[in-house]
Structure 1
Amino acid sequence: MLLLGSVVLPFGAASADEGMWTFDAFPAAKMKRDYGWAPDQAWLDRVRAASVRLTGGCSASFVSGSGLILTNHHCVASCLEDLSSSGSDLLATGFIAQARTEERKCPGQQAEVVTAITDVTPRVKAAIGASAGEALVKARTAAIADLEKQGCLDTATTRCQVVTLYGGGQYKLYTYRKYSDVRIVWAPEAAAETFGGDPDNYNFPRYALDASFLRAYENGQPVATPQHLTWTAREPKKGEAIFVVGNPGSTQRLLTQSQFAYQREVNLPITLATQSELRGRLITAMRQSPDHAREGETTLYGVENNLKRTIGRTKALGDPQFNAMLARNEADLRSRSVGNAAIGDPWTDIDKAVTAQRQIDAEYRFTEPQGDLFDYALTLVRAADERSKPNGERLPAYSDSALPLLEKTLLDERPVYPWLDSLMMEWSLSKAREYLGVDHPQTRLLLGKESPEGLARRLVSGSSLADAKVRKALWDGGAAAIAASKDPMILYARALDANERRVQKLYDERVDGPITAARAKLADARFAAYGASVYPDATFSLRITYGKVGGWIENGREVDYRTTFRGAFDRATGAKPFALAPAYLARRQRIDEGGALDFVYAADTIGGNSGSPVIDRDGAVIGANFDRNIHGLRNDFAYDIDKARSIAVSTAAVEQALKVIYPAPTLLAELHAK
């Protein structure tokens, strides 16, 4: 049970070690007061320069001077799957490059390192001015596109991204050094990472070797990364201070009561139902053949992970005590804001916008089907149109700053599995018909007179967009090539595009614009009420959080903070998901079974922190964050320092794996700079 009295101060005012802090606002004074020590600017700069963001929603870190990147195995699983075939399953067997010539490029992957953070709030807010609704969204989009273009003139090596903080209260321009050639170096067998499977997910104790190595290249050579974390294979110590640096994906701690109600009553129930059905469809289809089982593995992993998170969020907002705490938080902010005429009544403004959001929820949620081929088609259709417009008038995903990564993601070669693409389309179209209704104009547009199954089969089987050369020809050919294309998926995307734009315009006018304006005022109210103790919600941008290694009390007993390889052997049943990796069994006599495997710590993390380095005060990496315990699922809405714990694989475990389980002597020598 969440201990309401000492867990969270109102709306992001940090209590204890709570907070996902931006690097330009780290609470050094508070940490020094609580710990007797805090990192100086040189420490923060070095750690920032070693921290990596990966496309696909993960974090990582440089751990050698030659571009070597430590992250989680589940963050590279899609790369391994893309590089596999029916005769070579790299997910199952693992991958070890004994020489750099054997390192293989990961399709669609890009590594990014923050080099500068600039406050551009005045410029964005000046551009918005007194505009409202859709006009506000357009003004904001144009200002952001201009700032990003001006900030990164060299798009070959840099990327600029304006990050919205506090829902519109602040805007920061993040400048990244990017590396578009990222290669897989080392990964254990999937069974070593997925041990425990869905039953163990978001739980502890854990016995997952969830670690892998990538390398960043440029011009065909490994990049020089002198600013990297020091590798240490020591075990974590109970009570020691640690830092987690990465890119937490999304939290919703600064929502109002009406927004929490929308999540509880509309969004989460629909998401829970649709994700549950997708999981069932996937499991059934994957049982049809070994190839289906291999090809659907990473998709199923993602669906099950998201489903469990949705269940946790649903339980949190279904807890009367938890909701009472959220209500008290809002009441406190309201009471502190009495007399602050500058903010007006943003709560009522948000209430009105959420009412509109409820009315158009299904229409906005189900504008298009899911599937790789449709995603390719819609990207090509929209790019042909958007690239002809001035930068500031484009959809955000097609701005000059966004186009290089979009092009890479579109054109990198990777396999498309027809059965899986058809399944995703069938499922999403059937859900659209279910929630919109058979007679809704959008349902008729999506399906015409076809069934979800028949339409999906026709489009997937008739499309040639799985061929990267075909996609490149359409990308290079622009509007003329798209207009001339007879590919059924292109024709379908063209038919849906106008309606998608219509619904987005409606959403911008009634929901996004009003909520952005109101949340900017709420940000001002929070700063006035709580000062610098207010940290922003997560936005998949670089953050740093800190805490201590240690377990928690569960049912009157202390949960140990670490697990060992012996625990994995003891837990094994021989059947999935508790079947040990073959290399464990083959090399058991050489494994130090008492050595640390995973460990937990009180640090404020969320999805997106997967792969984040766990760093000690000396700037050495002692683990790679990969999960939270079940209590941590409430972190979306509030941080429970008493019971929420983050989970990492220890560098001690990775070191042992590199020595005796999946030997990689060259990699070990590099980590130890020998």
Structure 2
Amino acid sequence: MNYVLKPFLSVALAGTVLASSPALAEEGMWTFDAFPAAQVKQDLGWTPERAWLDKVQASAVRLTGGCSASFVSDSGLILTNHHCVATCLFDNSKAGKDYLDAGYVADRRDLELKCPGQQAEVVTGIADVTKDVKAAIGSLTGEALTKARDAKIAELEKAGCADTEKMRCQVVTLFGGGQYKLYTYRKYSDVRLAWAPEDRAATFGGDPDNFNFPRYSLDASFLRAYENGKPVATPNHLKWTPRAPQEGEATFVVGNPGSTSRLFTTSQLAFEREVRLPVTVTTMSELRGRLVRAMEESPDHAREGLDMLNGIENSLKVYIGRQKALNDPAFTGTLAAKEADLKQRSAGNAAIGDPWAAVDKAVGAYRALYLPARFSTPTSDLYGYAETLVFAAEEREKPNGERLPGYTDSALPLTKKRLLDESPVYPWLDELTLEWSLSKAREYLGADDPDTKLLLDRESPEQLAKRLVEGSKLADPAYRQQLWDGGRAAIEASDDPMIRYALRLAPRQRALKKAIDEAYAGPLAAAAGKLADARFAAYGDKLYPDATFTLRISYGWVKGWDERGKPVPIATTLGGTFDRATGNPPFDVAPAFAAKKAAIDGSTTYDFVTTNDIIGGNSGSPVIDKDAGVIGAAFDGNIHSLGGNYGYDPSLNRTVVVSSAAVQEALETIYPAPALVKELAGK
């Protein structure tokens, strides 16, 4: 799914089955340590053996940029989506060398491009630490609960991964606090780009075709993991299987779905519908307009703003879809009925009590804190660097268990990598996003609000953004390294205006976090644990948790659906691209496609659909068959799948996949990469 954005967050139509009750066939993003083998056997007549699951788990890759992927050779070659590497292409581009537009094929491995801020991670272990975390929480409430929980998590993560150069440990909260699992990862911090098609090949159809089908998109690319300057050895990898899918065949999607809200209560959904989504859609729409206008000013601006524009337009479609879902009475009625059923089953259980009332109270408190918290952190790459440096300088002086999330011993290596990796900052673009976020803060908080005055003092958003961006030296990674190494003393002595600004905002940001922990996060964590107990008591343990950007597996079939009374076919062909093309953007054929039209095998299956249950974060997930062969990479969902954030409808929700057969044809004919073809064949 096209849910990848660099500086922004990344989905809602009609879901009919919710995770508060036992999952039905095809529904579910299952953890590998709770794979529903019996249910799969019942639905498919076959279920994977443990060895199959272990191999697939060891081959699955999480990209810290927000995507999924998989190893597909024994030399660290990684299959993912083009939109998952777009920022890497963007970061390596410059005037006269636009890799995002033209694509990139590394003829030799020494020409593969480093991807700033990117890290590849493979799960090596999953341990249940629920008892440890819950024992630390005990009967605590409010901020005391969050502090005790976070301290225990930091302790468990540090103990689990002594070698932070090669390992990463992460305690994940499941069922809102009903379970805690310690995930151990083997990490690769040097990730490079090996092959990517032209942007238009991946984005053919643009926003009109996004979240729709039929599709004609080559949304695929290859990365490679390196260590000590050499490609890593990956004996555990999936078999590259460039064949057409068969209608009705079973498929598995393995990846890291980012976030779902299928366990939300009525009051949480009301907050989404009434507060968060309207603010997000309105402000992001304005940002899109500002960006489009600025990109028209010059060819350089058009190139430098494209990656961000693609992300904004994609997210807008997602959030508008969420709004539509939560404003559909039939859909929300289904949600309410599921909640009513759980309440009825839990009535009279003194151990559970009334967690719904606690959630209602917490959400009510959050309504007063949401806007100040949202707008107290301005949007800007340079400001992001400054905020990280300011908080890290203070947090690193504290004992590990007292630090904020993101600054603990287990999290610091990735925080540092993202801070110090060299990546271009375009002043006009940074100024635009900063000015926009400050103007929206003033609009939503009010000119006389204390937080607005803290943000702006006596300057206008335009004046402040210009002064901070033009005066900052934080675009230079050497300067960021100097401040990181110098710690608190260097930060406090810095005259960089962006650092001074981040220092000004930090006390208020800390105060808001404290207030939210006390009134919202703490009570919500306690209530969510009770809600999890209620679900397990009512429906047993055959449940899957909401998505948390951790490794999951879903199963389904290659299958179309009926749209307005007409069947939608399961697949498109490469040749169909030319039939759909109009010659005008976004339906203009990529130059290499046009040049190779006569040589392309037009009958090759291009994109296809399955019933697998996925969400944002699954972008790049391998779609595999019973033999653990990769027959495609998931890159999107159809328009109905936008409701997948809240529920799953097997009759309409579909995953959209670029086929391995199409990628193979591209590797051989359109964007030739003979070395990769040989590597994928195991030669």
Could you tell me how far apart the structure 1 residues matched to 2:539 and 2:14 are? 22
For the 8 Å contact 2:13–2:321, the answer to whether it is kept is no
Q: Deviations over 1:163-191 (max 9, x none)?
A: 00001110000000000000100000111
Contact map agreement 2:19 2:543 (CA 8 A) in 1? no
5 Å matches for 1:268-667? Answer: 268-667=277-676
Instruction: Say whether the 8 Å CA contact 1:12–1:254 is kept in structure 2.
Output: no
C-alpha distance in 2, partners of 1:268/1:90? 34
Q: CA RMSD in A?
A: 1.0
Within the alignment, does 1:146 sit opposite 2:121 as a pair?
A: no
AA at the equivalent of 1:463: S
What is the SS of the residue equivalent to 1:342? Answer: coil
- Name the CA distance, whole Å, in 2 between partners of 1:575 and 1:290: 19
Cα distance, 1:12 vs structure 2: 4.7
Question: Runs of 4 or more off by more than 6 Å in structure 1?
Answer: 1-4
Please give the alpha-carbon distance, in whole angstroms, between the structure 2 residues aligned to 1:10 and 1:75.
28
Q: Determine if contact 2:74/2:235 at 8 Å carries over to the other structure.
A: yes
Instruction: For residue 92 of structure 1, report the CA deviation from its aligned partner.
Output: 1.2
1:177 aligned residue (161, 181, 186): 186
- Cα 1:12–1:671 change in 2 (3 A) is farther
Alignment match, 2:86: 77
Q: 1:55 aligns with which of 64, 72, 77?
A: 64
* Secondary structure, counterpart of 2:652 in structure 1: coil
Does 1:88 find its partner at 2:103? no
- Specify which of 235, 241, 253 is matched with residue 250 of structure 2: 241
Aligned counterpart in structure 2 of residue 11 of structure 1, from 1, 12, 20: 20
Q: Which moved more, 1:228-237 or 1:355-364?
A: 355-364
1:186 corresponds in structure 2 to 195
Q: State the alpha-carbon separation in 2 of the partners of residues 496 and 315 from structure 1.
A: 36
| Structure 2 SS opposite 1:532 | coil
Map Cα deviations across residues 294-353 of structure 1 (whole Å, 9 max, x no partner): 111111111111110001000000000001000000000001111211011100000101
The letter for the 2-side match of 1:406 is: T
Match of residue 44, structure 2, among 35, 43, 52: 35
Contact 2:225 2:232 (C-alpha < 8 Å) held by counterparts: yes
8 Å CA contact 1:9–1:15 kept in 2: the answer is no
Q: 2:609 is paired with a residue of what secondary structure?
A: strand
Which whole-Å CA distance do the structure 1 matches of 2:376 and 2:249 have between them? 49
The alpha-carbon deviation at position 195 of structure 1 amounts to 0.6
What is the total number of aligned residue pairs between the two structures?
Answer: 672
SS at match of 1:288: coil
- Report if aligned partners of 1:362, 1:436 keep a CA contact under 8 Å in 2: yes
1:158/1:177 contact within 8 Å kept: yes
**Mapping 1:119-158, distance limit 5 Å:** 119-158=128-167
Distance verdict in 2 for CA 1:191–1:476, change over 3 Å: same
SS of alignment partner, residue 516 of structure 2: helix
Deviation at 1:361, TM superposition (A): 1.7
User: Any idea what SS the aligned residue of 1:590 has?
Assistant: coil
CA distance 1:64–1:384, change in 2 (3 Å): same
Q: How does 1:242-257 map to 2 (within 5 A)?
A: 242-257=251-266
Q: Deviations over 1:181-237 (max 9, x none)?
A: 001000001110011111111111110100000000001111010010000110111
1:597–1:649 contact (8 Å) kept in structure 2: yes
**What letter corresponds to residue 598 of structure 2 in structure 1?**
Q
8 Å Cα contact 1:10/1:332 also seen in 2? no
Output the amino acid matched with 2:671.
Y
Q: Are the equivalent residues in 1 in contact too, given 2:13–2:643 (CA < 8 A)?
A: no
Which whole-Å deviations, capped at 9, do the CAs of 1:542-580 have from their partners, x for residues lacking one?
A: 000000001101111110110111211111111211111
> SS state of the match for residue 124, structure 2?
strand
Question: Is this contact kept in 2: 1:82–1:107, CA < 8 A?
Answer: yes
**Contact 1:10–1:330 under 8 Å retained in 2:** no
2:483 and 2:341 map into 1 onto residues whose CA distance is 55
Relative to the length of structure 1, the TM-score reads: 0.99
Map 1:163-242 → 2, pairs under 5 A? 163-242=172-251
Q: Distance in 2 between matches of 1:293 and 1:114?
A: 39
* C-alpha contact (below 8 Å) 2:248/2:559 kept by paired residues: yes
| Aligned mates of 1:71, 1:159 — CA distance in 2 | 21
Conserved? CA contact 2:218–2:663, under 8 Å: yes
Secondary structure of the residue aligned to 1:589 is coil
Question: Which 10-residue stretch deviates more, 394-403 or 571-580?
Answer: 571-580
Say if 2:252 and 2:624, in contact at 8 Å, map to a contact too.
Answer: yes
Within 1, Cα distance between the matches of 2:21 and 2:268? Answer: 16
CA gap 1:2/1:289 in 2 versus in 1, 3 angstroms: closer
Q: Please say which of residues 194-203 and 359-368 is displaced more in the overlay.
A: 359-368
The question of whether the paired residues in 1 share the 8 Å contact of 2:13 and 2:322 is answered with no
Report how far residue 49 of structure 1 moved.
0.3
What is the CA distance between 1:3 and its match in structure 2?
Answer: 7.6
Paired with 2:228 and 2:195, the residues of 1 have a C-alpha distance of 21
What's the secondary structure of 1:343's corresponding residue?
Answer: coil
Shift of 1:13: 2.1
Cα deviation, residue 10, structure 1: 5.9
Counterpart amino acid of residue 189 in structure 1: E
Deviation for aligned residue 1:87: 1.4
Shift of 1:541: 0.5
Taking every aligned residue pair, what percent have the same amino acid on both sides? 65
Structure 1 residues 105-143: Cα deviation after superposition (integer angstroms, max 9, x where no partner): 111110000000000000000000110000001001100
Q: 1:315 to 1:346 in 2, by over 3 A?
A: same
Contact kept? 2:19, 2:647, Cα under 8 Å:
no
Rounded Cα–Cα distance in structure 1 between residues aligned with 2:374 and 2:421 = 28
Partner Cα distance (1:427, 1:457) in 2: 12
For 1:2 and 1:237, locate their aligned partners in 2 and report how far apart those are by CA, in whole Å.
Answer: 28
Q: What letter matches 1:272 in structure 2? A: V
Residues 463-489 of structure 1 show CA distances to partners (whole Å, capped at 9, x for unaligned) of 000000000000001011101100000
**Is the Cα–Cα contact under 8 Å of residues 133 and 514 in structure 1 kept in the other structure?**
yes
The answer to whether the 8 A contact 1:624-1:648 is kept is yes
**Cα distance, 1:365 vs structure 2:** 1.2
Task: Tell me, yes or no, if the aligned pair for 2:13 and 2:325 is still in contact at 8 Å.
Answer: no
Which residue type is aligned with residue 197 of structure 1? G
Secondary structure of the residue that 1:144 maps to in structure 2? helix
Following superposition, the deviation at residue 42 of structure 1 comes to 0.3
Deviations 1:11-67, CA, capped at 9 Å, x for gaps = 252012100000000100011011110101000000000000001100000000000
SS in 2 for 1:184: strand
Letter in 1 for 2:28: G
Matched, 1:105 2:114: yes
